[in-house]
């Protein structure tokens, strides 16, 4: 099952539930354990969970979603130029009155390099996103974005670039 990115930035991720032992009343399958006792187990079926920016596991799931979009892409590599472009686009979207992503991406000299830099940030997880948000504030001015807002913008920019 693939990760699905919703228009609001939330992600629907597959979750494998824990295996459960059932009582004798709800037998689905039975096995004999090492101690000779018969036990029953319910097969675990995958379910889904919605993750929103700022929730635990969101950054990792967003990086996985991005990889799903182009599985043949190599590891993310951040260049100095790409990182600068990434900071510029994140700042532009964050300060845009209407949160406009497309014009901010169109204004980039090298959207692919910015995308790679943003992927590199995501791969580093929450500490990397937080450090990137502080770096954007230092380079572009203003207060650092909360990590969950920076992550959401990164996802929107990557979706626009792809």
pLDDT digits (tens, 9 = 90+) for 40-60: 555 556 688 898 887 888 888
- Return the pLDDT at 124: 83
Segment 60-76 mean pLDDT: 81
pLDDT score at 41: 53
Is the full-model pTM beyond 0.95? Answer: no
> For residue 150, what pLDDT is reported?
92
pLDDT at 53: 80
What's residue 36's pLDDT? 59
88-93: average pLDDT: 92
Beta bridge partners of 31: 39
Q: Which residue has the tokens 């700042």?
A: 91
């Amino acid at each position: 099952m693939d990760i699905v990115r919703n228009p609001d930035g939330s992600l629907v991720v597959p979750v494998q539930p824990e295996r459960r032992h059932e009582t004798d009343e709800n037998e689905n399958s039975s096995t004999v354990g090492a101690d000779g006792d018969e036990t029953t187990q319910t097969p675990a079926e995958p379910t889904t969970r919605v993750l929103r920016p700022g929730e635990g596991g969101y950054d990792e799931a967003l990086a996985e979603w991005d990889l799903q979009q182009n599985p043949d892409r190599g590891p993310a590599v951040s260049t100095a130029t790409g990182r600068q472009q990434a900071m510029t686009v994140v700042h532009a979207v964050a300060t845009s009155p209407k949160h406009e992503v497309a014009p901010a991406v169109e204004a980039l000299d090298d959207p692919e390099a910015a995308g790679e830099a943003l992927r590199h940030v995501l791969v580093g997880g929450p500490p990397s996103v937080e450090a990137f948000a502080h770096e954007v504030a230092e380079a572009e001015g203003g207060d650092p974005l909360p990590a969950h807002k920076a992550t959401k913008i990164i996802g929107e920019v990557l979706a626009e670039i792809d």
